Structure 1
Amino acid sequence: MTDPAHDVDTLRERALTTLTTARARTSLLTSCVEDPDLTAQHSPLMSPLVWDLAHIGNQEEQWLLRTVAGREAIRPEIDGIYDAFEHPRAERPSLPLLPPTEARNYAAEVRGRVLDLLESTAFHGTRLTEAGFAFGMIAQHEQQHDETMLITHQLRKGPQALHAPDPEPAPLLTGPSEVLVPGGPFTMGTSTEPWALDNERPAHRREVPAFYIDTTPVTNAAYQAFIADGGYDDDRWWTPEGWAHIRQHSLHAPLFWRRDGKQWLRRRFGVTEVVPPDEPVLHVCWYEADAYARWAGRRLPTEAEWEKAARHDPAGDRSMRYPWGDADPEPEHANLGQRHLRPAPAGSYPEGESPLGVRQLIGDVWEWTASDFAPYPGFQAFPYKEYSEVFFGPEYKVLRGGSFAVDAVACRGTFRNWDYPIRRQIFSGFRTARSGDV
């Protein structure tokens, strides 16, 4: 029989580790540049870095100290300033934001009180405290903003501020370029993952006809072939909305790419380099991914197809937490957590492949799917509608799998991301699929 005290100790240790890991990353992202870079808005699509820093602390205070612990507010006067729904990103530089030192001190004060709270919290009694959900939610929230801040660093002009080793070169992938996923039902979503967010719930059976899916994400070399074949100049491959968008904005290649003679260059975190042919393509919008798939005689996978490829174990007819099984991600499984500042070469991480042989479903690049963001049958908003419910609708497309910028706490086989189909500053790529018979 499991010792309940041991369970509580394990949960407390997990909460402490994930909160500490997130704060170390936040500190790195906000200490590697000078204060003027923290207060500047590097793109109207993004907040000043100092806004994210104080917002992280404010959300942590509101949910853990006020809601869970019932304590009085530390800085109630700033709640509106750091309400993401009250002020669009483009307006945030004009707000009376806490200066960098004050923002750091505020976030540190909140965290100190949260760590004290963590020592005395019982991990049961309410839905928020069950299995430490509220602590997990806040750790995921901070890591999501860390990814947002990393996007801001990519958009930032100026010299390189962040450094990380490159992924190991991958051996040439000699297997098939696509994998057949047999048709039939599988369990999509989860009702048991303790820190899963509301849009991942509940688990439900989904019937998916047989289909083929790429073994790896689409590479830069493959995408360059699309460009070279006039893909951006042929309306046959584009939806009407996509064609209008690329014409209006004069798009001819992924974001941050530019042509230099016979080669393509890209800017990556302050460094200009030749586009590596074997890496998954990055910084493409949904329209570009969809157009490439049409040009290749294929299509984007639906969200259900993607999840079945990532989680279904045909031998046991069960859904796993990750492509490799139920164990938490380790470095040999996937490129996560800003360990590297780029995707790993296509075909990397053989230990992270699915039972059917699909690789890099977790980490490296967010993968666009064909699906609109919609609730699962039986969805219930928790703990607030603004996390998921207000975004449901055809204007958002679903992305799956995470990227090199995502921490493992915010990346599961069930985790769902969403964005407008025009978005390119995010760490987005894709793989393609086609319908098939058993």
Structure 2
Amino acid sequence: MTDPAHDAETLRERALTTLTTARARTTLLTSCVEDPDLTAQHSPLMSPLVWDLAHIGNQEEQWLLRAVAGREAMRPEIDGLYDAFEHPRAERPSLPLLPPAEARHYASEVRGRVLDLLESTAFHGTRLTEAGFAFGMIAQHEQQHDETMLITHQLRKGPQALHAPDPEPAPLLTGPSEVLVPGGPFTMGTSTEPWALDNERPAHVREVPPFHIDTTPVTNAAYQAFIEDGGYDDDRWWTPEGWAHIRQHSIHAPLFWRRDGRQWLRRRFGVTEVVPPDEPVLHVCWYEADAYARWAGRRLPTEAEWEKAARHDPAGDRSMRYPWGDAEPAPEHANLGQRHLRPAPAGSYPEGESPLGVRQLIGDVWEWTASDFLPYPGFQAFPYKEYSEVFFGPEHKVLRGGSFAVDAVACRGTFRNWDYPIRRQIFSGFRTARSAGEA
């Protein structure tokens, strides 16, 4: 029989570790530049870094200190300033935001009280406290904002402020370029993952016809072939909306790319470098991914296809937590957690491949899918509608798998991300698919 006290201590340790890891990353992202860079808006698509910092503290206070512990608000007058739905990003610099020192102090004071709370919390009794869900939700929330802040650092002009080692070179991939995923039912989503968010639930059976999917994400070299073949100048490959968008905004290559004679250069976190041919292509919108797939005689995988490729174990006829099994991600499995500041070369992480041989399904780049962001059958919003429910519909496309900027706590085989099909500042790439029987 499982010892409840042991379970509680295990949950407490996991919550402490994930909260501490997130805060260390937040500190790095907000301490590597001077205060003017924290208060500036580096793109109208993004908040000032100092807004993210105080928002992280405010959400932590609201959900852990108020909702879980029932305590009075520490700074009720700032709730509206850091309500993501009350103020669009473009207008946040004009708000009376907490200055950097005060934002740091507030977030630190909240965290100190949360750690005290963690010592005495019983992980049962309510849906928020069951299995430490609220602590896991807040750790994921902070890591998601850390990824957002990393995007802001990429958009920021100026010298390099962040440093990390490059991934190891990958051995030449000698296997097939695509993998056949057998048709049939599989279990999509989860009803058992304790820290899964509402849009990942509930588990349900999906019937998926057989299909082929790329062994690795599409590389820069492959995408350059699309460019050189006039892909951005041929409306055959684009949806009407996509064609109108790239013409209106004069888009001819992935974001941050520029041609220099016969080669392509890119800007990456303040450094200009030659585009590495073997890395997964990065900073493309859904329209670009869809157009490339059409040009290549293929298509984007549906969300269900992607998840089946990532989680289905034919030998055990079950859905796993990750492509490699149920174990938590380790460095040999995937490129996660800002350990590197770029995708690893295509074909990396053989220990992280799926039972069918598909690689890099977790980490490196978010992968666009063909699917709109919609609720699963039996979906119930929890703990608030604004996390997922208000975004459901054809306006948003689903991305899967995470990127090098995603922490393991916010990335699972069931984890769903979504964005507008025009978004390119995110760490997005893709892989292609085709139905079985198609040439």
TM-score by length of 1: 1.00
Given that 1:162 and 1:269 are in contact with CA atoms closer than 8 Å, whether structure 2 keeps it comes out as yes
> Deviations 1:134-189 (Å, cap 9, x if unpaired)?
00000000000000000000000000000000000000000000000000000000
Q: 1:50: Cα distance to partner?
A: 0.0
TM-aligned CA distance change 1:275 to 1:10, over 3 Å: same
Distance 1:327 1:8 in 2: 20
Distance 1:386 1:67 in 2: 16
Q: 1:300: Cα distance to partner?
A: 0.0
Query: Tell me, what secondary structure is at the counterpart of 1:399?
Result: strand
Query: Tell me, what secondary structure is at the counterpart of 1:143?
Result: helix
Q: 1:220: Cα distance to partner?
A: 0.0
Distance 1:125 1:66 in 2: 16
Q: 1:55: Cα distance to partner?
A: 0.1
Distance 1:177 1:57 in 2: 45
Matched ranges for 1:119-138 at <5 A = 119-138=119-138
Distance 2:74 2:101 in 1: 17
Distance 1:66 1:407 in 2: 26
Give the percent of matched residue pairs that are identical in Structure 1 and Structure 2: 95
Distance 1:125 1:315 in 2: 38
The CA RMSD over aligned residues, in Å, is 0.8
> Deviations 1:183-233 (Å, cap 9, x if unpaired)?
000000000000000000000000000000000000000000000000000
Q: 1:93: Cα distance to partner?
A: 0.1
- Show structure 1 runs of 4+ deviating over 3 A: none
Q: 1:278: Cα distance to partner?
A: 0.0
Q: 1:4: Cα distance to partner?
A: 1.1
Equivalent residue number for residue 213 of structure 1: 213
Distance 1:150 1:344 in 2: 17
Query: Tell me, what secondary structure is at the counterpart of 1:212?
Result: strand
Distance 2:207 2:72 in 1: 49
Query: Tell me, what secondary structure is at the counterpart of 2:179?
Result: strand
Query: Tell me, what secondary structure is at the counterpart of 1:398?
Result: strand
Given that 1:362 and 1:402 are in contact with CA atoms closer than 8 Å, whether structure 2 keeps it comes out as yes
Q: 1:2: Cα distance to partner?
A: 1.5
Distance 1:102 1:19 in 2: 21
Query: Tell me, what secondary structure is at the counterpart of 1:71?
Result: coil
> Deviations 1:277-334 (Å, cap 9, x if unpaired)?
0000000000000000000000000000000000000001100000000000000000
Q: 1:3: Cα distance to partner?
A: 1.1
Q: 1:119: Cα distance to partner?
A: 0.1
> Deviations 1:317-360 (Å, cap 9, x if unpaired)?
10000000000000000000000000000000000000000000
Report the count of equivalent residues: 438
Given that 1:293 and 1:300 are in contact with CA atoms closer than 8 Å, whether structure 2 keeps it comes out as yes
Distance 1:437 1:242 in 2: 25
Given that 1:337 and 1:407 are in contact with CA atoms closer than 8 Å, whether structure 2 keeps it comes out as yes
> Deviations 1:18-58 (Å, cap 9, x if unpaired)?
00000000000000000000000000000000000000000
Distance 2:359 2:4 in 1: 37
Given that 1:211 and 1:437 are in contact with CA atoms closer than 8 Å, whether structure 2 keeps it comes out as no
Distance 1:171 1:329 in 2: 21
Distance 1:266 1:172 in 2: 24
Q: 1:437: Cα distance to partner?
A: 8.0
Given that 1:282 and 1:427 are in contact with CA atoms closer than 8 Å, whether structure 2 keeps it comes out as yes
Equivalent residue number for residue 90 of structure 1: 90
Distance 2:104 2:232 in 1: 45
TM-score by length of 2: 0.99
Q: Which runs of 5+ in 2 are unaligned?
A: none
